[in-house]
């Protein structure tokens, strides 16, 4: 069954309601009703193509944040076998906003980890609505080192509104925890692939996504700051979030065009939540394809490419840049 919960999906929801009304009748459906059903279904598909083919940035944000969107736990369940969760940072705690461990991906052992938002209210509270504490980033750090020790590729799944902005987070050094991960990931001696599956917000997202390849689901976003925060910072009013989202170029398409990501992974029509199995299969096959490529590189080559990947970012955004003047 499809789900249409967003405000811009009202027309889709209306048609879907009519379809469901008819479908309820099952075998008792009359001939003309069967024709109608067929018509409605065609109409729905056309509408979906129209709406989802032309999502505004703000609509994309809504889809990326859809409460039914598949989470890291769903992707792990659907893509991997023998998931063995690794918990705790060995320092302070076990942040439930990060879910990670060892798993078998198509027969290959990997470290897979990602942001976990939590589905119901209780889970959302436990996961701090997906916003990691410092101990979450330090758990990631531990898993990264684990991966490096056993030459396991690292898969990270990004779905975080932003790092946790609380008093405790400042106390225990959220900035330090993120910064350390950036440094460690940039030089980790094993392949890293990041997939943005929902929203990738700010340094909180970056802290698990310095990678050899960054892939984004079609309707996911990746941004320097949440649109609300950016609007508040730039224009002193978070009500301008939609304008900020648009201006900051945060969609997969924008970022592919800016050459900041390697690939856009298509979603089922209507968004990833309409068919989790299908989207998981697409993500899995994209990961495996990139992994095979990365596996062909020597470690030194891998690290040099990763360095240059980041070294180059922003250079085309600079005027007056001397050419070839690096030491």
Partner 1 sequence: MSDDGKQATMPASMNGAHPDAAMRSLPDNLAVKCPKCRELLLGKDWERNLKVCPKCGHHAQLTAQERIDLLIDEESDFEQIDRDLVSNDPLKFVSLSGTDRSKLDGLADSTGLKESVVVGSGIIDGLPVMLVIMDFRFLGGSMGAVVGEKITHAIEIATYERIPLLIATASGGARMQEGVIALMQMAKTSAALARMAEAGVPYIVLLTDPTTGGVTASFAMLGDVTIAEPGALVAFTGPRVIEQSMHIKLPKDVGYAEYLLAHGMIDGIVHRRALKATIARLLHLYDDAEKAMN
Which residues of this chain interact with a copy of itself, rule CB under 8 A?
90-92, 134, 138, 172-173, 176, 180
Of residues 172 through 201, those in contact with partner 1 by CB under 8 A are 172-176, 178-180, 182-187
239 binds partner 1 (CB under 8 A): no
Tell me how far, at minimum, the Cβ of 315 lies from partner 1, in Å.
Answer: 6
281 binds partner 1 (CB under 8 A): no
Q: Which is nearer to a copy of itself, 148 or 263 (CB)?
A: 148
Q: Which is nearer to partner 1, 70 or 227 (CB)?
A: 227
Q: Which is nearer to a copy of itself, 94 or 263 (CB)?
A: 94
288 binds partner 1 (CB under 8 A): no
293 binds partner 1 (CB under 8 A): no
Tell me how far, at minimum, the Cβ of 98 lies from partner 1, in Å.
Answer: 11
Tell me how far, at minimum, the Cβ of 124 lies from partner 1, in Å.
Answer: 16
165 binds partner 1 (CB under 8 A): yes
Give the count of residues interacting with partner 1 (CB under 8 A). Answer: 87
Residues 6+ apart with CB under 8 A from 111: 100, 101, 102, 103, 143, 144, 146, 147, 152, 153, 154, 155
- Report which of 39, 29, 168 is spatially closest to residue 93, judged by C-alpha positions: 168
Distance between CA atoms of residues 224 and 142, nearest Å: 25
Angle at 253 between CA 250 and CA 254, to 5 degrees: 45
266 binds, among a copy of itself, partner 1, none (CB under 5 to 8 A by kind): none
Helix runs in 207-275, H state only = 227-235, 241-248, 252-257
Residues 6+ apart with CB under 8 A from 103: 76, 80, 81, 82, 83, 84, 109, 110, 111, 112
Q: Hey, what are 86's tokens?
A: 């690794």
């Amino acid at each position: 069954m499809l789900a249409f919960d967003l405000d811009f999906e009202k027309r889709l929801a209306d048609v879907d309601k009519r379809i469901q009304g008819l479908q309820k009748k099952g075998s008792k459906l009359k001939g003309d009703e069967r024709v109608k059903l067929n018509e409605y279904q065609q109409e729905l598909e056309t509408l979906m193509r129209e709406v989802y083919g032309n999502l505004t940035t703000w609509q994309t944000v809504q889809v990326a944040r859809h409460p039914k969107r598949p989470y890291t736990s769903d992707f792990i369940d659907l893509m991997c076998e023998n998931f063995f969760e690794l918990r705790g940072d060995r320092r302070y705690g076990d942040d439930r906003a990060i879910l990670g461990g060892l798993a078998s991906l198509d027969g290959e052992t990997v470290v897979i980890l990602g942001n976990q938002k939590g589905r119901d209210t209780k889970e959302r509270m436990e996961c701090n609505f997906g916003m990691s504490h410092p101990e979450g980033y330090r758990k990631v750090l531990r898993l990264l080192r684990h991966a490096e020790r056993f030459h396991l590729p690292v898969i990270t799944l990004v779905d975080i509104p932003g790092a946790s902005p609380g008093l405790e987070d400042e106390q225990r050094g959220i900035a330090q925890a993120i910064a350390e991960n950036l440094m460690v990931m940039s030089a980790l001696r094993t392949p890293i692939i990041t997939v943005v599956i929902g929203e990738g917000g700010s340094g909180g997202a970056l802290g698990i996504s310095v990678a050899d390849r960054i892939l984004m689901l079609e309707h996911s976003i990746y941004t320097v700051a949440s649109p609300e925060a950016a609007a508040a910072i730039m224009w002193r009013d978070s009500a301008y979030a939609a304008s900020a989202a648009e201006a900051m170029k945060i969609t997969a398409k924008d970022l592919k065009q800016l050459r900041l990501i390697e690939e856009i992974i298509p979603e089922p029509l209507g968004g990833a939540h309409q068919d989790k199995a299908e989207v998981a299969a697409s993500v899995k096959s994209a990961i495996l394809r990139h992994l095979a490529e990365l596996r062909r590189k020597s470690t030194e080559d891998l690290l040099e490419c990763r360095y240059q990947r980041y070294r180059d970012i922003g250079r085309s955004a600079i005027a007056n840049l001397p050419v070839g003047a690096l030491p």
